[in-house]
Amino acid sequence: MPGTAGSPTPAPPSPAPPLLTPTPDARAAADAIARASGRSVHEVTLVLGSGWSEVVAGLADPGTAVTIPVSELPGFVPPSVAGHRGTVTSCLVGGVPMLAVAGRTHLYEGLGTDPVVHPAHVAAAVGSGVLVFTNAAGGVRADLAVGELVLISDHLNLTGRSPLTGPTFVDLVDAYSARLRAAAADALEAATGSRPPAGVYAAMPGPQYETPAEVRMLRTLGADVVGMSTVPETVAARGLGVEVVAVSLVTNLAAGVTGAPLDHAEVLAAGTAGAGRLTAALRALVPSVARA
């Protein structure tokens, strides 16, 4: 029996091999990033969502940042949505080699799932064991406030889409790593003075915002925040064998919560207002999850 004298403790099971491999475009992008930055491996890849792009300038350790327009890298599509820079930055954050993708492609842009999940494939190709997603989200749960950070613990894929084809049965029981989420919560609490709640993220297809009736439905289903990204990329990342931690910034309260109209300018304003706090949060989070 385990723990008895003379009986070795059985080794933990080896992780299953990844079901997916990085695409040729992702490998080509990784090669181009390595040539430009001089870094062949990036331990963490960070994808910055709406309202988060402005934190890039303050994230990097001084003198370590190399920025490349996504238009110069295979597989990336320059973002068409306001609030997304369209750059990739290789840098050190607290000494940890990190790749930051400032700008994502969304399903509602009508380009299919491949460009949406391309950053996840690039993360695997540059050797990242951890992929950090950020996004702007509407607060569905009544106790959430604008400007609050929420660590995603699980998701509801209500987009009707998957980046997977064929018999690729990706296990999503621990889609958002509990171990990394605990490390991230500690880091964010130390950086911001408050411990972020965990919550379920509902991914909707967009680009329209949800109706009040849809928000009531989301509450019934157990959602805490709602947005239009993150889930396809998480599915791909887990298929690629990359661990995921994801953070939502509550940029507005979802339809029907306050009765006020919703618009994208409100989303971007919330990100701009909190840029300093978001930068401090990510500077603490990245080294913490890299070393967890």
Structure-token pair, residue 253: 């309260």
Do the domain assignments include residue 276? yes
Do the domain assignments include residue 2? no
Q: What is the pLDDT of residues 229-249, one digit of tens each?
A: 999 999 999 999 999 999 999
Q: Are 37 and 66 in contact (CB under 8 A)?
A: yes
Do the domain assignments include residue 17? no
Determine the average pLDDT of the residues in 168-173. 96
Determine the average pLDDT of the residues in 41-70. 90
Domain harbouring 103, CATH code: 3.40.50.1580
Among 7-11, 27-31, 51-55, 143-147, which range has the highest average pLDDT? 27-31
- Give the chain's mean pLDDT: 89
Do the domain assignments include residue 19? no
Do the domain assignments include residue 239? yes
Lowest-pLDDT range of 10-19, 218-227, 282-291: 10-19
Task: Give the residue among 253, 272, 266 at the shortest CA–CA distance from 53.
Answer: 272
How far is residue 124's CA from residue 135's CA, in Å, rounded to a whole number? 20
CA angle, residues 198, 200, 203, in degrees to nearest 5: 140
pLDDT value of residue 1: 45
CA angle, residues 203, 174, 146, in degrees to nearest 5: 40
Structure-token pair, residue 73: 């890298």
Do the domain assignments include residue 105? yes
Which domain, by its residues, includes 96? 24-290
Question: Does pLDDT of 145 surpass 80?
Answer: yes
Q: Which residues are catalytic?
A: 50, 84, 106, 108-109, 136, 228-229, 252, 264
Structural domain count, the chain: 1
Do the domain assignments include residue 56? yes
Structure-token pair, residue 19: 């079901």
Do the domain assignments include residue 13? no
| pLDDT confidence band for 153 (50 / 70 / 90) | very high
